[in-house]
Amino acid sequence: MSEFKIALIPGDGIGPEIVAGAVTVLDAVSAKFGVKFNYEEVYMGGCAIDKYGEPLPQETVDKCLASDSVLLGAVGGPKWDNVPAKLRPETGLLGIRKALGLYSNLRPSILKPQLAAASPLKSEKLEGGLDIMVVRELTGGIYFGKKTKSEDGTWASDEEKYSVEEVRRIGKIAFETAMLRKKRVVSVDKANVLESSRLWRATMIELAKEYPEVELTHMYVDNAAMQLAINPAQFDVIVTSNIFGDILSDLSSAIAGSIGMLPSASLGKSKLGMYEPIHGSAPDIAGMDIANPIATIVSAAMMLRMSFGLIEEADAIEAAVDKVLSENYRTADIMSDGMTKVGTKEMAKLIAERL
């Protein structure tokens, strides 16, 4: 029997509830397909600040590195808003991405037909369907560039810096992802203004020669934001820098209806990945059993597919989610007339049963 070790980072807010939901479903996968998952819970974010005085204890990094993959709920909350920058829960998240070498972040935005009404866009804008993969560079750029603050506090700066090597490796992920999809990559930059973007664009153009089947086009980030809002069906794969990807992936997920539905995968050189819902820790609804666990459940499906090679099992999870939605079960965030409202635990249980 194949066995996999999963580090669980429940985190803060609704994190523990949605991770528990994913474990319910993983256990059902285990029972049905005869694979074994060994879980180890570790601390990161606000809960780690409370317990260890730091958002990312070394022990967490070590345990994650010793696992086959990491499943993360969410971190952060108002409780830690006033701690120094170095101690913020978000610093833990950035730190673990860096420590695990997770330079690529894949964020799919898919609008399921069952949820078409949930998109804020008019239905005619969605006629071509919506199936976008944002490939975001995750360990470089302005997030990790040199940070400076003048001694007198009158100015501060953050450096946006990319090397050819960093751009190439994220570009490769995008082209390879596109090869499995509609073979179209839009590289998003601000090459009309930024030197780092000009290097980005030139590197993508060079790399494209290695993927003659893939069509590469370029868009400035401001235009890309507009195009996502007015004609999202034109996109297949979007590849972009850390900061632009942060912004555009929120936009592309918003047009897909509910951010409670969307997973993400962060990957590096090895098979070890970190999988998490794209939404945050929603502290306002924490502990109320109303959060939508689906984003975390489909993140677990991505983990099975991309890190463990368990394709049939991953497909089964996604099919079970579709089935439950087709049976009109909804959590509060995706509720509409005539649907049956269920809580976090119940939603996870229904999905596990449909497996």
**Residues sharing a CB contact under 8 Å with residue 55, sequence separation 6 or more, in sequence order:** 44, 45, 46, 48, 49, 75, 87, 88, 89, 90, 91, 92, 93, 95
Instruction: State which of residues 27, 54, 90, 131 lies at the interface with ligand IPM (CB under 6 A).
Output: 90
The Cα angle at residue 254 between residues 349 and 10, in degrees rounded to 5? 45
Q: In this structure, are residues 317 and 29 in contact, taking their beta carbons and an 8 Å threshold?
A: yes
Q: What's the closest the beta carbon of residue 138 comes to Mg ion, in angstroms?
A: 11
Q: Is 143 a catalytic residue?
A: yes
Shortest separation between residue 247's beta carbon and Mg ion, angstroms: 8
250 is catalytic: yes
Closest separation in Å from C-beta 253 to ligand IPM: 10
Nearer to ligand IPM, 24 or 253 (CB): 253
CA atoms 81, 71, 287, 348: torsion sign: positive
CA 133 to mean position of chain CA atoms: 10
Residue from the set 22, 25, 93, 316 that interacts with ligand IPM by CB under 6 A? 93
Cβ neighbours, 10 Å, residue 306:
18
Q: How far is CA 233 from CA 106, 124, 134, 186, 229, in A?
A: 18, 11, 13, 13, 10
Neighbour count for residue 105 (Cβ, 10 Å):
25
Among 166, 246, 313, 333, binds ligand IPM (CB under 6 A): 246
Closest CB to ligand IPM among 130 and 134? 134
Please identify, using beta-carbon distances, which residue of 94 and 116 lies nearer to Mg ion. Answer: 94
User: Are residues 134 and 109 in contact, defined by beta-carbon separation less than 8 angstroms?
Assistant: yes
* Catalytic-role residue among 246, 275, 333, 349: 246
Provide the minimum distance between the beta carbon of 182 and ligand IPM in the complex, in angstroms, as a whole number: 25
Active site (annotated) includes residue 337: no
Q: Which does 90 bind (CB under 5 to 8 A by kind): Mg ion, ligand IPM, none?
A: ligand IPM
Sign of CA dihedral 173, 175, 178, 180: negative
93 binds, among Mg ion, ligand IPM, none (CB under 5 to 8 A by kind): ligand IPM
- Residues of the shown chain interacting with Mg ion in the complex, contacts defined by CB under 5 A: 246
Catalytic site residues? 143, 190, 222, 246, 250
Report the interface residues with ligand IPM, using CB under 6 A.
90, 93-94, 246
